[in-house]
């Protein structure tokens, strides 16, 4: 089976995002009026199924994929899935512009051996020609990507257990970049010539991306997420993890919750974003960020967006990639808009069915 990080043309795909706490599925269609959500569902994972981004119980995750497929009622049997940034090596390399395609492929394989610290027999590699190199018109820039074969095989197996054939294995940061195109018009100058940080705060991992002029220029994953708030609620109020998670979303906690638990957690989120920005500035030619886009379930915490703006002095927005989409009758509009900030990666994967002109 051919798997591609950099795709060409596929049958309709569902985007399947496996995070540390849940499996999300999204299917989009497209016509002259724009995109429409056809199918969507979310299934929580058992607590021990994932640890950060490591698969600890493949069978349980496969069963969750099967449930999410049934609940979404999608008819598609093909899927796009993503590897996390820490599981993939990407590098822009320069190649001779005059090479024919078969020559380019063999040259890239030789070049890959120099850049990838694993035996070639243990990795899947793919490449995407970006275009003429700004440094030298006789060269082209090529984006090389490699991931351990065992990681790819596990993802393919998980989808297969749920009845989905993996057609695309993507990279999370590029899925975020693709769905960013849907929210750009909600931002100043529609993101043109702007430097924008996208902070996707999941349950236990935060994916931090910086896009300049709508193109990813920096990514970093860190262990931090909404699970830390759930665990603090659990510890302080003597609840089970499930009870604490429900109370976090639905309320009903004691009066001291806001001051003693929620406010310090919001400060911790701001501190994490601030730290990521410092890492970015220390390794980049750009010295400021024009806007912050918050994504992931944690982004909707009451008052978080205001805290980020106030402490960091940078305007911020909560991501909603569905703002300009129509929704099929069988999809719950309140549910998908409530989950919208958590669906950036899933949405970017579902878009793989259409974005032929700028595919990763």
pLDDT per residue as tens digits for the range 283-313 = 888 889 999 999 999 999 999 999 999 999 9
pLDDT digits (tens, 9 = 90+) for 119-146: 888 988 888 888 888 888 889 988 888 8
Instruction: Please give the structure tokens belonging to residue 275.
Output: 């730290």
Residue 42: exposure state from Cβ atoms within 10 A (0-12, 13-18, ≥19): buried
- Asked if residues 228 and 301 have their Cβ atoms less than 8 Å apart, the reply is no
Dist CA 188 CA 186 (whole Å): 7
For the chain, give the percent of residues with pLDDT over 70.
95
- In Å, what is the CA distance from 144 to each residue of 80, 88, 108, 129, 315? 19, 10, 8, 9, 34
- Closest C-alpha to 158, from 75, 67, 87: 67
Q: Give the separation between CA 117 and CA 272, rounded to whole angstroms.
A: 30
**Predicted local confidence at residue 9, as pLDDT:** 53
Cα 340 to Cα 45: distance, rounded to the nearest angstrom: 19
Contact 152, 83 (CB under 8 A): yes
Predicted confidence (pLDDT) per residue in 47-67, tens digit: 888 877 788 999 999 999 999
DSSP string, 100-140: -HHHHHHHHHHHHHHH-SS-GGGEEEEEEEEEEETTEEEEE
Place 40 in a pLDDT band, splitting at 50, 70 and 90.
very high
pTM: 0.89
User: Rounded to whole angstroms, how far apart are CA atoms 143 and 359?
Assistant: 12
Q: Enumerate the domain spans of the chain.
A: 88-148
Taking the CB of residue 353, how many other CB atoms lie within 10 A of it?
24
Q: What is the pLDDT of residue 359?
A: 36
pLDDT over 80 (residue 73) = yes
pLDDT score of 2: 44
> What does the pLDDT average to over 33-46?
94
- Report the topology of domain 88-148: Dna Ligase; domain 1 (3.30.1490)
Cα 175 from chain centroid?
Answer: 5
Residue 269's nearest CA partner among 345, 338, 315, 200 is: 200
> How does residue 250 score in pLDDT terms, banded at 50, 70 and 90?
confident
Q: Look at the block and give the residue holding tokens 């001051």.
A: 259
């Amino acid at each position: 089976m051919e798997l591609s990080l950099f795709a060409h043309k596929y049958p309709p795909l569902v985007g399947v995002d496996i995070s540390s706490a849940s499996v999300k599925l999204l299917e989009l269609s497209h016509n002259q009026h724009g995109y429409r959500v056809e199918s969507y569902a979310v299934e929580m994972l058992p607590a021990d199924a994932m640890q950060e981004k490591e698969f600890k119980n493949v069978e349980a995750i496969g069963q969750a994929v099967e449930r999410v497929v049934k609940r979404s009622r999608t008819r598609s049997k093909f899927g796009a899935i993503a590897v996390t940034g820490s599981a993939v090596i990407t590098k822009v390399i320069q190649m001779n512009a005059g090479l024919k395609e078969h020559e380019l492929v063999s040259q890239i394989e030789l070049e890959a051996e120099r850049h990838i610290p694993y035996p070639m027999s243990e990795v899947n590699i793919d490449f995407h020609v970006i275009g003429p190199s700004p440094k030298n018109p006789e060269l082209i820039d090529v984006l090389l990507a490699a991931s351990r074969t065992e990681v790819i095989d596990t993802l393919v197996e998980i989808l297969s257990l749920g009845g989905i054939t993996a057609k695309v294995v993507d990279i999370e940061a590029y899925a975020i970049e693709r769905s960013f195109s849907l929210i750009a018009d909600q931002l100043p100058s529609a993101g043109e010539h702007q430097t924008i940080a996208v902070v996707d705060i999941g349950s236990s991992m935060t994916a931090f991306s910086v896009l300049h002029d709508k193109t990813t220029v920096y990514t970093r994953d860190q262990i931090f997420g909404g699970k830390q708030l759930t665990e603090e609620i659990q510890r302080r109020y003597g609840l089970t993890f499930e009870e604490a998670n429900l109370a976090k979303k639905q309320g009903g906690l004691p009066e001291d919750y806001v001051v003693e638990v929620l406010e310090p957690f919001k400060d911790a989120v701001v501190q994490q974003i601030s730290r990521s920005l410092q890492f970015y500035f220390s390794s980049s030619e750009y010295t400021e960020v024009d806007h912050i886009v918050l994504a992931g379930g944690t982004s909707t915490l009451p008052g978080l967006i205001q805290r980020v703006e106030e402490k960091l002095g940078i305007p911020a927005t909560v991501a909603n990639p569905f703002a300009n989409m129509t929704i099929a009758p069988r999809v719950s509009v309140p549910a998908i808009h409530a989950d919208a900030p958590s669906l950036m990666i899933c949405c970017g994967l579902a878009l793989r069915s259409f974005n032929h002109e700028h595919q990763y």
